[in-house]
């Protein structure tokens, strides 16, 4: 009997938690809208202009990039990748032309996995098992966080 009662409570709690989260988001949206109504249009337009969303943001040196973004710097080891996330293709940029065919070899995939595994192991060795503690030479532990690195950039 108690198992059934506990399971019923868990189901009701899960449904209520989803509703509460939805209501909280609606309330936050209402606060944001009320705040935006209080801002003079001249000041809002000046803020939008200061964001420079019409200028193209380059991904790395030499890239033209896309408009509508805000550039944010982060430490290079914050999210290590072994593969470029931007697909570059040579040739004309005519939209009617088909995309070039990509050839993936299984050797690249295994090489990328090996590099990722090596990076992960070296980071664990440097930062400790959980990635936040680093042992010093006297055996004491010091705490490292990636946010301190990003603030210095």
The answer to whether the beta carbons of residues 75 and 146 sit under 8 Å apart is yes
pTM as predicted: 0.38
Q: Mean pLDDT score of the chain, rounded to an integer?
A: 76
Mean pLDDT of 10-23: 88
Per-residue pLDDT band for 38 (boundaries 50, 70, 90) equals very high
Mean pLDDT across the stretch 4-22? 87
Q: State the SS3 of the chain.
A: CHHHHHHHHHHHHHHHHHHHHHHHHHHHHHHHHHHHHHCCHHHHHHHHHHHCCCCEECCCCCCCCEECCCCCCCCCCCCCCCCCCCCCCCCCCCCCCCCCCCCCCHHHHHHHHHHHHHHHHHHHHHHCCCCCEEECCCCCEEECCHHHHHHHC
pLDDT over threshold 90, residue 95: no
Higher pLDDT, 149 or 83: 83
> pLDDT-based confidence at 25, cuts 50/70/90?
very high
């Amino acid at each position: 009997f108690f198992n059934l009662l506990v399971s019923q409570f868990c189901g009701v709690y899960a449904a209520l938690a989803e509703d509460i989260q939805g209501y909280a988001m609606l309330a936050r949206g209402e606060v944001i809208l009320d705040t935006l109504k209080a801002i003079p249009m001249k000041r809002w337009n000046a803020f939008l202009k200061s964001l420079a969303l019409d200028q193209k943001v380059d991904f790395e040196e030499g890239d033209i990039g896309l408009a509508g973004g805000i550039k944010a710097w982060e430490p290079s080891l914050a999210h290590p990748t072994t593969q470029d996330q931007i697909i570059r293709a040579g040739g004309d940029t005519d939209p009617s032309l088909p995309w070039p065919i990509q050839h993936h070899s299984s050797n690249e995939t295994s090489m990328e996995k090996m590099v990722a595994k090596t990076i992960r192991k070296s980071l664990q060795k440097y930062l400790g098992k959980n990635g936040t503690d680093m042992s010093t030479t006297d055996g004491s532990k010091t705490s490292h966080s990636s946010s301190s690195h990003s603030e210095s950039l």
